[in-house]
Amino acid sequence: QVQLVESGGGLVQAGGSLRLSCAASGRTFSSYAMGWFRQAPGKEREFVATISGGGGSTYYADSVKGRFTISRDNAKNTVYLQMNSLKPEDTAVYYCAAKRITTSTIVADYNYWGQGTQVTVSS
């Protein structure tokens, strides 16, 4: 069982930056691929970024490529999402998620989810 707790959301102006954190419970954090997803009002949850258990492989949605960076610190059981050059269309609830072994961009592949953290970007 893995429990995930996100933090770091908030209100920021367009062009600004935020760093989200996701703290995980458990002793086998490095065996889990981690993902960040987001859900805006009235829209389906969508993939943002994913990182492999060792941190050597990452993949991003086209909409955030070059602006967002996913990373992890396995010693701290934490995954991060650094968000730069934020746009109003990045406004959403951001969720971190965990799945065994391999990375994925698909919501249904992830077994564990955090409660989400709100990110609001004003124009």
Mean pLDDT of the 95-111 span: 96
54-57: Cβ within 8 A, 24+ apart: 54/30, 57/103
Over residues 47-74, the mean pLDDT reads 97
- Residue 27 in this model has a pLDDT that exceeds 80: no
Q: Report the chain's mean pLDDT, rounded to a whole number.
A: 97
The strands making up 4-7's β-sheet, listed across from edge to edge, are 4-7, 18-24, 78-83, 68-73
pLDDT at 1: 83
Report whether pLDDT(8) > 80: yes
Band of pLDDT at residue 26, cut at 50, 70 and 90:
confident
* Interval 31-56: pLDDT, tens: 999 999 999 999 999 999 999 999 99
